[in-house]
Chain A
Amino acid sequence: MEPKQQYEWHVGSSTNRPITAIIVGMAGSGKTTLMQRLNAYVHAQKYPSYLINLDPAVATIPYTANIDIRDSIKYKQVMKTYSLGPNGGILTSLNLFATRFDQVMKFVEKRAPQLQYIFLDTPGQIEVFNWSASGTIITDSFATIYPTVYVYVVDTPRSLNPQTFMSNMLYATSLFYKTKLPIILVFTKTDIVKHDFAVEWMTKHEAFEEASKVNDTYMGTFTQSMSLVMGEFYENFTCVGVSSMTGEGMDKLFEALQKAALEYEKGYKVELEERKAELIKQEEKRQKEQIEKFKKEMHIEVNTTSPMNVIGQTIEPAQDQDMEEEDEENLFNEEEEQEHFQDFMRTINSKKT
């Protein structure tokens, strides 16, 4: 039997599972412009998709997000209310959002039968998402239901520096060991520098050794050890070069997404099924504890302003031009939402007294 080559959707059916891509990368690597290109591409190809922005501190996003953390969490207000610095502000905003992520998942689940892709844009600083409890809650919320893939964005021109390149590779690998989810390396800005050199470094270890020696001696000895590992990176990660400016490479990226979704089904999902009962129980308990902890922490740090000012009314998806046939109001019952929110506020306020 031929192995399955293409991911199968069941659009229109309740068994349909959209591919979820979580876009991560170092600040400045081009996550948000990639999102813009992805948005343009799925519109052109008519792939029904859902876009979620999780960066509370971004000033503007060049695409329309179906769900935007900034609609419900005011980052600057969070900083003021809880007397936090910029980093604490981003983290706390994400925590606040995570306490209500079950709501987001409800919206997503209602929409899922119609969708082929879900894209998540993450906060600028990579660790805020990857190493925080709320980032884990959000990732797991998707990964336990949908084929979920990490898209690790690598700045191609900066990676001409072998150390930066190696850092990125190690970081991506570290991400894999933590999440166990498939990872696609997307080399961006290929209109400025082609990513061919990166592929060459990964496939011919002499090439990488040569490049590093030019730079300095310490790296030279380090790469002696790492050069053999490089080939394994290439074996294990799918590498795609993309220009968000011109759109070059997007077809390959979507092929890679499907391939990674199949990988998810063979790897993560099997593992998940095996441990499902135990996992779900553990996970629910852990999430609940974590969320309680967030709420508690936020209460302690509350100064004078009520968090009511910090959080907007509800988490609401933006109007979606693509799905005109659906009645938005029916899908997202505002009254019910309002009740959920009041509930949430009561919990927070009761902690206050």
Chain B
Amino acid sequence: NWMGRYAQLIMGPAGAGKSTFCEIMEKHCVSLKRPIHIVNLDPAAENFSYTVSIDIKNLITIDDVMEEMNYGPNGALVYCMEYLVSNMDWLKEELGHYEDDYLIFDLPGQIELYSHIPVMNKVVNLLKDLGFNLCCVYLLDAHFMSDNNKFLSGALQALSAMIHLETPHVNVITKMDLLPPGSDESEFFEKYFEADVPLILAEMYKPKESKWDRLTTLLAQVIQEYNMVNFYPLNPSDEESVNMVLMNIDHAMQYGEDEEPKEPKDENDFLNENQNENND
């Protein structure tokens, strides 16, 4: 009775609102009667605003590593994630309790773990091996939309983190409810969410040297080609916007297409599924 396993991976810099996002998703899925469980993979996370079903801190905590190994916060974080990778049986067993449920992984925010040290892609690859259909949800604070430079900057930052993971991805702009009063939301939508790249370019800050123009133009093209401009706004107080975000994520990971017999996409998928069935 293999149903397919689905998980969102919540990424984004510290302060982007990852935990709040998980909380919003949890509430929303409860109202949709969709069984959902949240996995915390941030060994430094504290004070959860959502129900934690699986917590990496039951395996290892950053405080222990800092104290016992006398590591700094960076070294300790890397150590924790490496430890998780070498103890994937723990995670596998924990995940076994939620075989048919929709999962959300709350990930640490440090970009180093994604692009500098190849540790997060190890975790993600192991999840893929466990048969998960994944979707990376990259969160950016609404203030990145406050001007064109920040927009491009934020898009590049998201792109930089995501080229490593090779999973479908969705970008979400959080804290839309905290936009300064008077900001014209319709203008916002047209420009950034529908990605009016020529307009953004036209308004872009240009240093006095024209050589930047070409870089800006080329980067904007790449961003457009890679659908980096698909940012979805999330306003926690607006049920409709929460639903839109969830729908887009579901779509990206092809959730809900299981009602019909699922065709394995390729040999690997097929093997993974078989493996999982055998394990069961």
Interface residues of A (CB under 8 A from B): 26-29, 57-59, 83-87, 89-91, 124-128, 131-132, 155, 158, 161, 163-164, 166-168, 170-171, 173-175, 177-178, 180, 216, 218-219, 222, 225-226, 228-229, 232-233, 235-236, 263, 266-268, 270-271
Contacts and interface: CB of A to CB of B under 8 A. Distances in A.
Contacts of A166: 160, 163
Contacts of A267: 207-209
Interface of B: 13-15, 44-46, 62-63, 66, 72-74, 76-78, 109-112, 114-118, 149-150, 152-154, 156-157, 159-161, 163-164, 166, 205, 207-209, 211-212, 214-215, 218-219, 221-222, 225-226
A167 B164 contact: yes
Contact of B117 (A28, A168, A233, A236): A28
B110 A125 contact: yes
B110 A127 contact: yes
A177 B164 contact: no
A48 B149 CA distance: 35
A181 to B, nearest CB: 10
A261 B201 CA distance: 27
A57 B76 CA distance: 12
6 contacts: A27-B116, A126-B112, A173-B219, A218-B163, A219-B163, A232-B214
A277 B46 CA distance: 43
A347 to B, nearest CB: 24
B116 A87 contact: no
Nearest to B164: A163
Nearest to B77: A86
A127 B13 contact: yes
B240 to A, nearest CB: 29
Contacts of A168: 115-116, 160
A161 B163 CA distance: 12
B156 to A, nearest CB: 4
Nearest to A229: B218
Given A177-B152, A235-B211, A268-B207, A225 B221 contact: yes
Contacts of B114: 167
Nearest to A166: B163
B116 A29 contact: yes
A167 B221 CA distance: 17
Given A85-B46, A171-B156, 20 more contacts: A27-B112, A28-B112, A28-B116, A58-B72, A83-B46, A125-B73, A125-B74, A127-B110, A131-B13, A164-B116, A166-B160, A170-B159, A175-B153, A177-B152, A229-B222, A232-B214, A235-B211, A236-B211, A236-B215, A267-B208
